[in-house]
């Protein structure tokens, strides 16, 4: 394949070269036991956290040694209720922008939005090569094309491949997750090996037959791991995560028990293995499949293009053609497992999706777990589906979803295999990180060898110790349409102010010659402002302006300030609210 920017560039998986690199890695891993450290090794490895700690989402970590920096993941998160009008939240990468000449590459563990979503925004300023598996890069390539970024270097790797980026040697290790192509990373640095799990679970009966490479992980652990950073999402859940294959049994009886009904199955678009199971069952039960939702269609097309999704001929129909088939001949695969306001399932449930009208002959399956914080939205959708007469199957009723994250039992096994000297829990809110740290202690690790990091923290690591370094500028940036604003956004602050306290517009007319008040209108929006209150406010402002010699007022800005101050206290006394006040001065 011709190597060019903007296209997937395969990293050569030369067996001889990989063998040489593997031998080199093992020598480097054991050198601290048999050799004196070189002069350069007296430096510390700096680990900078730009996202993904103290939160779920927005994952991004930088490893820095000397003049070299590599970045692990570049994700986003979705706005909460306290961010009105914000579309997406991405990491603040000011530090990386200031040091972009030192970035040797961006290594992506898998293709979920919380690991790749910020790439289209940060790659406009940081021109670094990106490395990932085939599906991961296909999803990234589609995102970059949407943003007209066609000259980014995309480099395709396979699990077990080893690449060198500056002073870092990175081995990609196959792990199981809820998306194909997920990898962990064994990064050999001048101070020792850093093992980063990425998002993972241990699935011994995966749909594609490719289990997590525990043998290689054990070998790496045996050779010596200085630091491990591990997924903490499901630390609060005991036991082990159920296999993705177990979900097929539930889906099988859903198809079998609803032979005369139309099926609507909502699932995460990125879960290609779940999609494959649905397609296989649709073929078995002689149903046509209609995809609904832009992300569902895009990911299905991308996965089919690279062979990750096998779609039988003549199985897929356009959602607009479902009326030409009987209910028992159709299964609709939809987005909207979290009750997202604009998703296909939410619009179906609210009667706003004219292509699919929900009725009594529908069985709706929500094949996902509820992400914390989304409970109100998804249960609202479920209630609406029931009101429309549909039967609804969801996680509380059936084992219809398998998480992509390891539970406590799997995390214990991981710690016992890797046996790291130091540990930093990642990918979780503070409570997850704390409980993962306690788990490591329960398995014999010293508390002093564990750090719980926050966004903006630098951890300095040497062969002998680990400690906090300097703080650096980090946090969040807000994507609003095509604009990107900072964490201290005045726009966001104004929106929150408006959403909480409303707006009062004061329109004042002043005669240019006589400097006398000619008109006054007060309009309240977003607060309870009765006619009596408005009349009282008008009288108050009128009295203030009549007692002011307007000829001495220098300009409209000064007059606006007088109006704002005069009405602010009055409105607070009348409404116990502090709305945004917008004076409009018209000189006539």
414-426: pLDDT as tens digits: 999 999 999 999 9
Q: For residues 111 and 181, give the distance between their C-alpha atoms in angstroms, rounded to a whole number.
A: 8
Residue 8: inside a domain, yes or no? Answer: no
Which two three-digit tokens encode residue 7?
Answer: 């296209």
Instruction: Say yes or no: 122 and 220 in one domain.
Output: yes
Instruction: Say yes or no: 255 and 228 in one domain.
Output: no
229-256: pLDDT as tens digits: 999 999 999 999 989 888 888 999 999 9
| pLDDT less than 50: residues of the chain | 1-4, 31-41, 84, 482
Strands 168-174 and 183-189: antiparallel
Residue 209: inside a domain, yes or no? Answer: yes
Domain residues for 442?
A: 18-33+44-239+404-470
Instruction: Say yes or no: 232 and 248 in one domain.
Output: no
Instruction: Say yes or no: 432 and 418 in one domain.
Output: yes
Q: Phi/psi at 9 (nearest 5 deg)?
A: -110, 110
- Tell me how many domains the chain contains: 3
Q: Contact, 56 vs 76, CB < 8 A?
A: no
394-441: pLDDT as tens digits: 876 677 888 999 999 999 999 999 999 999 999 999 999 999 999 999
Mean pLDDT of the chain: 86
pLDDT, position 105: 97
Instruction: Say yes or no: 388 and 420 in one domain.
Output: no
Q: How many other β-carbons are positioned within 10 Å of the β-carbon of residue 412?
A: 16
Residue 95: inside a domain, yes or no? Answer: yes
pLDDT, position 503: 82
pLDDT, position 428: 93
Instruction: Say yes or no: 327 and 248 in one domain.
Output: yes
Instruction: Say yes or no: 293 and 350 in one domain.
Output: yes
**436 sits in which H/E element:** helix 430-442
Nearest to 56 by CA among 199, 184, 152, 175: 199
E-strand ranges in 250-348 read 262-267, 288-292, 330-334
pLDDT, position 62: 98
Q: CATH number for the domain including 103?
A: 3.60.15.10
Instruction: Say yes or no: 388 and 411 in one domain.
Output: no
CA distances in angstroms from 577 to 38, 475, 504, 521, listed in the order given: 66, 31, 11, 20
* Dihedral of the alpha carbons of 95, 99, 105, 108, in degrees to the nearest 10: 0
- Domain closes at, from 418, 437, 470: 470
Nearest to 86 by CA among 378, 485, 371, 375: 485
Query: Burial of 82 by CB count in 10 Å (0-12 exposed, 13-18 middle, 19+ buried)?
Result: exposed
pLDDT, position 10: 65
Report the sign of the C-alpha dihedral through residues 31, 32, 38, 42, in that order: positive
Give Cβ neighbours of residue 466 (< 8 Å, ≥ 6 apart).
227, 422, 449, 451, 459, 460
Residue 545: inside a domain, yes or no? Answer: yes
The tally of CA atoms less than 13 A away on the side-chain side of residue 57 is 17
pLDDT, position 179: 92
Q: For residues 474 and 50, give the distance between their C-alpha atoms in angstroms, rounded to a whole number.
A: 6
Q: For residues 251 and 273, give the distance between their C-alpha atoms in angstroms, rounded to a whole number.
A: 13
Q: For residues 90 and 442, give the distance between their C-alpha atoms in angstroms, rounded to a whole number.
A: 35
Instruction: Say yes or no: 418 and 360 in one domain.
Output: no
User: What's the pTM value of the predicted model, to 2 decimals?
Assistant: 0.78
Nearest to 406 by CA among 252, 171, 228, 187: 228
Instruction: Say yes or no: 527 and 443 in one domain.
Output: no
């Amino acid at each position: 394949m011709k190597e060019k920017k903007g296209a997937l560039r395969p990293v050569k998986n030369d067996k001889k070269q990989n063998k040489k690199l593997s031998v080199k890695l093992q020598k480097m891993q054991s050198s601290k036991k048999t050799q004196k450290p070189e002069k350069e090794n007296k430096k510390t490895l700096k680990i900078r956290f730009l996202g993904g700690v103290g939160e779920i989402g927005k994952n991004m970590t930088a490893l820095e040694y000397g003049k070299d920096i590599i970045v692990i993941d570049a994700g986003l998160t979705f706005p909460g209720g306290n961010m009105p009008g914000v579309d997406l939240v991405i990491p603040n990468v000011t530090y990386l922008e200031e040091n972009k000449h030192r970035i040797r590459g961006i290594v992506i563990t898998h293709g979920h939005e919380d690991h790749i979503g910020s790439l289209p925004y940060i790659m406009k300023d940081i021109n670094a090569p990106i490395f990932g598996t085939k599906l991961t890069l296909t999803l990234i390539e589609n995102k970059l094309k949407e943003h007209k970024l066609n000259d980014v270097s995309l480099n395709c790797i396979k699990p077990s491949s080893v690449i060198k980026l500056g002073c870092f040697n990175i081995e990609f290790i196959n792990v199981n997750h809820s998306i194909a192509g997920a990898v962990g990373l064994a990064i050999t640095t001048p101070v020792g090996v850093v093992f980063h799990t990425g998002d993972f679970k241990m699935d011994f009966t995966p749909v594609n037959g490719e289990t997590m490479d525990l043998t290689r992980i054990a070998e790496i652990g045996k050779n010596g791991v200085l630091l491990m950073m591990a997924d903490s999402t499901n630390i609060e859940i005991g036991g082990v995560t159920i296999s993705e294959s177990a979900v097929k049994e539930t889906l099988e009886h859903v198809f079998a028990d609803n032979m005369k009904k139309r099926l609507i199955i909502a699932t995460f678009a990125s879960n290609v293995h779940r999609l494959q199971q649905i397609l296989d069952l649709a073929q078995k039960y002689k149903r046509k499949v209609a995809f609904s939702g832009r992300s569902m269609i895009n990911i299905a097309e991308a996965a089919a293009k690279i062979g990750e999704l096998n779609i039988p001929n003549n199985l897929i129909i356009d959602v607009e053609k479902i009326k030409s088939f009987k209910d028992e001949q159709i299964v609709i695969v939809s987005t909207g497992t979290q009750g997202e306001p604009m998703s296909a399932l939410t619009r179906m449930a609210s009667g706003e999706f004219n292509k699919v009208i929900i009725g009594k002959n529908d069985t709706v399956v929500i094949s996902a777990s509820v992400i914390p914080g989304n409970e109100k939205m998804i249960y609202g959708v479920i209630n609406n589906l029931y009101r429309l007469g549909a039967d609804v199957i969801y996680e509380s009723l059936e084992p219809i979803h398998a998480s992509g994250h390891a539970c406590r039992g799997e995390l214990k096994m991981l710690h016992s295999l890797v046996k790291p000297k130091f540990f930093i829990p990642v990918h979780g809110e503070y409570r997850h990180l704390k409980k993962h740290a306690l788990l490591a202690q329960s398995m014999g690790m010293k508390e002093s060898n564990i750090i719980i990091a926050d966004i903006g923290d630098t951890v300095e690591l040497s062969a002998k110790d680990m400690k906090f370094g300097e703080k650096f500028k980090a946090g969040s940036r807000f994507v609003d349409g095509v604009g990107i604003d900072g964490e201290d956004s005045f726009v966001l602050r104004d929106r929150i102010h408006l959403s909480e306290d409303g707006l009062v517009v004061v329109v004042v007319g002043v005669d240019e010659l006589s400097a006398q008040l000619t008109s006054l209108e007060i309009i309240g929006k977003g607060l309870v402002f009765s006619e009596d209150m408005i009349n009282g406010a008008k009288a108050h402002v009128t009295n203030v302006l009549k007692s002011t010699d307007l000829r001495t007022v220098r300009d409209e800005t000064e007059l606006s300030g007088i109006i704002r101050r005069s009405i602010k206290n009055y409105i607070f006394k009348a409404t116990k609210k502090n709305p945004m006040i917008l004076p409009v001065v018209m000189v006539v």
